[in-house]
Copies of this chain bind each other. A is one copy, B any other.
Amino acid sequence: MNEEHLLRIQAIAEAALLAAGKPLSLDQLRELFTEDERPARQVMEHVMMLLESACENRGFELKKVASGFRLQIREEYAPWVGRLFEERPQRYSRALLETLALIAYRQPITRGEIEDIRGVTVSSNIIRTLLEREWVRVVGHRDVPGRPAMYATTKQFLDYFNLSGLDQLPPLSEVRDLEEIGREIEKNMQAEIEFESPKDDDSNEQTLH
């Protein structure tokens, strides 16, 4: 396969990605070609690398996200590009973000389970917004009374937040396990009951692991 041929595949891939305005998978890109001219997967992968470096020094870049490849404006130019749009970028409420976080990290999860952790009811609007944005979807129903829907995040969610997989989410902070909490509490309660300021031999900060 000569260079000219590769360059042509690269230009077609670039054209398709700019026409789609959304991510395309490697196979979707390959299927743009008729069978007799369809590049092998490895060739297509190589072409994507070529395209990536061809975008250096340009206003846009090739980004790999969950559902494939996307051409997007380089983040460093967002301040200028943002001036094109009169409307402020949308802000999301804490309630929505917390619900989304729970679905992302704890999927599949029911609304009731989300409410248990958040300690408040989750409004239907939040669930509807998340479903409409196609950030979450129903993946089944839990086999308990009422058969509540179980929610999970979608590829579109990952795409939107520039992630190629759930493992790219920021790590969840650690939690000290319950038994240890129990011991700690007992110790502290004991101290409180005995009504004396403890000589704190081991400060609490170090107990994290």
Contact = CB atoms under 8 A, between A and B. Distances in A.
A80 B33 contact: yes
Contacts of A46: none
Q: Which of A18, A33, A123 has the largest number of chain B CB atoms within 10 A? A: A18
Identical chains bound together, number: 2
Interface in A88-143: 88, 90, 93, 95, 111, 119-121, 123, 125, 128-129, 132-133, 141
Contacts of A28: 84
B12 A77 contact: yes
A176 interface: no
A18 B16 contact: no
A132 B74 contact: no
B148 A86 contact: yes
A84 B132 contact: no
Given A32-B84, A120-B128, A132-B120, A57 B148 contact: no
7 contacts: A11-B58, A13-B59, A33-B80, A54-B58, A87-B149, A88-B146, A123-B133
A191 interface: no
Interface residues of A, number: 52
A208 interface: no
Contacts of A172: none
A193 interface: no
A43 interface: no
A61 to B, nearest CB: 10
